[in-house]
Amino acid sequence: MNKSIELQDLGTKDFKDTWDYQEQLFKGILDTKIRNRRESLNLQTDNYFLFVEHPHVYTLGKSGDVSNLLLSEEQLVQKGATFYKINRGGDITYHGPGQIVGYPILDLDNFFTDIHKYLRFLEEMIILTLAEYGLKTERSPGETGVWLDVGTPFARKICALGVRASRWVTMHGFALNVNADLGYFDNIIPCGIRGKAVTSLNVELGVDKVDEAEVKKKLLKHFKVLFEAEFF
């Protein structure tokens, strides 16, 4: 089992270009697994973790409802945003500047073959990271992601999750609002959930800007422990 993960920080990158790149890495791992099975080989499969920040974009998961996008094509252009229907689970979400997006592209055969455990570990990584900033965040029953004040009228989501998996290989991942422009969430029904707010780390801390590089280091620290992994 290969628990080494290649870390790549892509900086600011177009969503579609990043999606295509994810697909390329994903296919490479799948091809190795298929070849191993077909030819009775034991070739090592690779693992990747991509950090990226996207320009303004809305993405709709395969089970999502397009009516949760509240903008016309013309209005999208006016907002400087793009829209894609994509092949992850979940409904609609927003990505943009000030948001840390993480795409672990892992062969879970190298770690554990349990998608629910995988999602819970991603949530736990976020929960542990935000605890370092003094925030008590948690899961909301039946709703993936990480929330504050669950079960109250003030419930608000700070991190969205949506993944795809095939033959235990994962892609897509999480989007943590750190210094996000929350106004862009007003143009959708986030994750198809009505009546619940979205928040960002800088808003919760009452500061103009949080050091995103520091947040990334904390995320990786907790991911490494949870997955018993090494980054290079």
- pLDDT higher at 182 or 195: 182
Please check the confidence at residue 194 and state whether its pLDDT lies above 90. Answer: no
Question: What per-residue confidence (pLDDT) applies to 195?
Answer: 63
Please check the confidence at residue 26 and state whether its pLDDT lies above 80. Answer: yes
Question: What per-residue confidence (pLDDT) applies to 198?
Answer: 94
Question: Does residue 191 have an active-site annotation?
Answer: yes
Please check the confidence at residue 3 and state whether its pLDDT lies above 90. Answer: yes
- pLDDT higher at 66 or 138: 138
Question: Mean pLDDT of all residues in the chain?
Answer: 94
- The stretch 54-67 carries a mean pLDDT of 91
Nearest to 18 by CA among 90, 93, 105: 105
The tokens describing 215, both together, are: 């947040």
Strand pairing report for 48-53 and 82-85: unpaired
Q: How many residues does the chain have?
A: 232
The tokens describing 199, both together, are: 């928040």
Indicate the CATH number for domain 4-231: 3.30.930.10
Question: What per-residue confidence (pLDDT) applies to 199?
Answer: 97
> Can you give the residue ranges of every domain in the chain?
4-231
Q: What is the b/e burial string over 163-190, where b = at least 16 CB atoms within 10 angstroms of the residue's CB?
A: bbbeebbbbbbbbbbbbbebebbebbbb
Please check the confidence at residue 192 and state whether its pLDDT lies above 80. Answer: no
State the catalytic residue, choosing from 178, 191, 215, 219. 191
C-beta separation of 115 from 165 below 8 A: yes
Q: What are phi and psi of 225, to 5 degrees?
A: -70, -50
In the chain, DSSP assigns E strands to 4-12, 48-53, 57-60, 82-85, 92-95, 99-105, 138-140, 143-148, 156-166, 169-177, 197-198, 230-231
Question: What per-residue confidence (pLDDT) applies to 191?
Answer: 59
Please check the confidence at residue 82 and state whether its pLDDT lies above 70. Answer: yes
Least confident of 66-80, 112-126, 210-224: 66-80
Question: What per-residue confidence (pLDDT) applies to 63?
Answer: 81
**Could you tell me the pLDDT band of residue 190, with boundaries at 50, 70 and 90?**
low
- The stretch 15-25 carries a mean pLDDT of 97
Model confidence over 143-161: pLDDT tens digits? Answer: 889 999 999 999 999 999 9
- Give percent above pLDDT 70 in the chain: 97
- The stretch 90-109 carries a mean pLDDT of 95
